[in-house]
Amino acid sequence: MSLPDLTTFTPHRTVVDAAFEGVPVPGLRAEFFRRPVGDRIATVGRYSRDGRELLMAWGYVDEEHCRHWAVPDPDGGWHPPAEGCPVVQVLRDQDDVIGLAIQEPGGTWVTD
């Protein structure tokens, strides 16, 4: 399996200071893309912060959760896609939200 080719999708919406798990994350940009696939709509969410990509998750709009997801690797590419939804933690400094941590498939935490 490979990452979705976003050139085959149409931009749907962009959210700045997007919420993750219901918690707004300052500086988090969420871009959503869609395209028809037969009688379904495929969707991709691409999350970034300060111009750095953090996460891509995809599936179909009629599904409750992600079908697949991937995070960037340290070499500038992407880790292989994983099934399901990623494990994500909202990082806080006391009461202030300061970022995200995403657990890559090998178990290492990737932070923004």
Q: Is the sign of the CA dihedral 52, 58, 63, 65 positive or negative?
A: negative
3-state DSSP assignment of residue 65: coil
Tens place of pLDDT per residue across the chain (112 aa): 789 999 999 999 999 999 987 899 999 999 999 999 999 999 999 999 988 999 999 999 999 889 999 998 888 889 899 999 999 999 999 989 998 999 988 888 988 7
3-state DSSP assignment of residue 57: strand
| 7 phi, psi to nearest 5 deg | -70, -15
What ranges do the domains of the chain cover? Answer: 6-111
Let me know: does 71 contact 85? Beta carbons within 8 Å. no
Q: Is the sign of the CA dihedral 83, 62, 17, 51 positive or negative?
A: positive
